[in-house]
Amino acid sequence: MFIVKYIKDVWGAIASLATGMKRTLYYFTHHKEIITQEYPDNRDSLVMAERFKGEVVMPHDEKNEHRCTGCTACELACPNGTIKVITKFDISPEGKKKKAIDKLVYHLELCTMCNLCVEACPSDAIKMAQTFEHSVYDRKQLTKILNHPGSKIMEGVE
């Protein structure tokens, strides 16, 4: 019957609109759970989400050693040329030449935080940090060298 379907349509519409309005009224009247972060005020207690990706860093241990072998997998994985690995050859005590990094140059201004370099790294040398206050007055400051000066590769990482 046409008229029965019509009335059912109208009734269904009103019921579904009422469901939505009930939900928003619940939020309006339960003004406790606030998602707004009052950022500059709560800077000390700010908790970032675990999956937040701020910039690429290379962790160093207390002996100023990193895990980077200079394999350039990250440079190859990067879709927009953010990472540039400059390698050198270390001479080991036995007299053998061994590939190592001289500088790992990271252009923060080009990075899209896609995480592909971190996934490509075979030795877990780089990871994503949660820092986000990257504003500087000079663009040059956004070009970073990730390995600390005088650092060398950790024992046992090939």
Among 4, 34, 49, 91, binds other proteins (CB under 8 A): 34
Residue closer to other proteins by CB (options 28, 137) is 28
Residue with tokens 């519409």: 13
Residue closer to other proteins by CB (options 33, 62) is 33
The answer to the question of residue 46 lying near other proteins (CB under 8 A) is no
Shortest distance, position 45 Cβ to other proteins, whole Å: 16
**Residue length, the chain?**
158
Q: How does DSSP assign 15-30, residue by residue?
A: HHHHHHHHHHHHHHH-
Among 8, 23, 99, 139, binds other proteins (CB under 8 A): 23
Decide: 153 and 68 in contact? Cβ < 8 Å: yes
C-alpha dihedral sign at 39, 43, 46, 50: positive
Among 1, 2, 5, 36, binds other proteins (CB under 8 A): 36
Shortest distance, position 117 Cβ to other proteins, whole Å: 35
Decide: 111 and 144 in contact? Cβ < 8 Å: no
Nearest in space to 70 (alpha carbons), one of 106, 91, 100, 96: 100
Judged by the rule CB under 8 A, the positions of this chain that interact with other proteins are 9-10, 13-14, 17, 20-21, 23-25, 27-28, 31, 33-36, 38
